[in-house]
Amino acid sequence: MPGAGTDKTRNWVERPGPAVILVEPQLPENIGSVARAMANFGLARLRLVRPRAAWPSEKARAVAAGADRVLAQATLHETLEDAIGDLNYVFAATARAHDQAKPVVGADEAARIAAEKIAAGESVGLMFGRERNGLENDEVALADRIITLPVNPAFASLNLAQAVVIVGYEWFKLASGGALPFVMPSKSDAAPREQLLAFFGNLERELERVEFFRPPDKRATMQINLRNIFSRMQPTQQDIQTLHGVIMAIAEGRKGPAAGGVLDGQEAGALRELLAEHGLGRVPGTRGPARGLSRLLRRNPTDAERALWDGLTKDRRFAGLFKRQTPVGPHINDFVSFSQRVVIDILPHSESEAAAKSRADRHAWLRERDYRVVQIRQGELEQDVAGVLDSLDAAISGAL
Instruction: Give the pLDDT score at 289.
Output: 44
If one counts the domains in the chain, the total is 3
**Is 182 inside any structural domain?**
no
Q: Counting beta carbons within 10 angstroms of the beta carbon of residue 32, is it exposed (0 to 12), middle (13 to 18) or buried (19 or more)? A: buried
Do 286 and 382 lie in one domain? The reply is yes
Domain that holds residue 366: 265-399
Do 73 and 205 lie in one domain? The reply is no
We report the CATH number of the domain holding residue 244 as 1.10.8
**CB 315, CB 264: distance < 8 Å:** no
The dihedrals phi and psi of 326, each to the nearest 5 degrees, come to -115, 130
Instruction: Give the pLDDT score at 298.
Output: 67
Domain closes at, from 149, 175, 201 = 175
**Is 1 inside any structural domain?**
no
Instruction: Give the pLDDT score at 314.
Output: 87
Do 128 and 272 lie in one domain? The reply is no
We report the CATH number of the domain holding residue 61 as 3.40.1280.10
Straight-line distance from the first to the last Cα atom of the chain, in angstroms, rounded to the nearest whole number:
47
Do 168 and 208 lie in one domain? The reply is no
Domain closes at, from 212, 231, 252 = 252
We report the CATH number of the domain holding residue 306 as 3.40.960.10
Instruction: Give the pLDDT score at 275.
Output: 66
Instruction: Give the pLDDT score at 286.
Output: 42
CB count within 10 Å of CB 98 equals: 18
Instruction: Give the pLDDT score at 265.
Output: 63
Do 242 and 167 lie in one domain? The reply is no
Instruction: Give the pLDDT score at 318.
Output: 87
**CB 366, CB 373: distance < 8 Å:** yes
Task: Kindly give the confidence (pLDDT) of every residue in the chain, 400 residues in length, as a single tens digit, with 9 standing for 90 and above.
Answer: 445 556 665 666 667 899 999 999 999 999 999 999 999 999 999 999 999 999 989 999 999 988 999 999 999 999 999 999 999 999 999 988 888 889 999 999 999 999 999 999 999 999 999 988 899 999 999 999 999 999 998 898 889 999 999 999 999 999 888 888 788 777 788 889 999 999 999 899 888 887 888 888 898 999 999 999 999 988 998 898 889 888 887 776 644 444 444 566 666 666 666 666 555 444 444 444 445 565 666 677 788 888 898 888 888 888 788 888 888 888 888 899 988 899 999 888 887 887 888 889 889 999 999 899 999 998 888 889 999 999 888 888 765 4
Report the DSSP pairing between strands 104-105 and 46-49: unpaired
**Is 165 inside any structural domain?**
yes
**CB 111, CB 170: distance < 8 Å:** yes
Do 171 and 50 lie in one domain? The reply is yes
Sign of the CA dihedral running 124, 168, 30, 99: positive
User: Can you give the pTM of this predicted structure?
Assistant: 0.55
Do 73 and 32 lie in one domain? The reply is yes
Instruction: Give the pLDDT score at 288.
Output: 44
Residues 6 or more apart whose Cβ sits within 8 Å of residue 352: 273, 276, 277
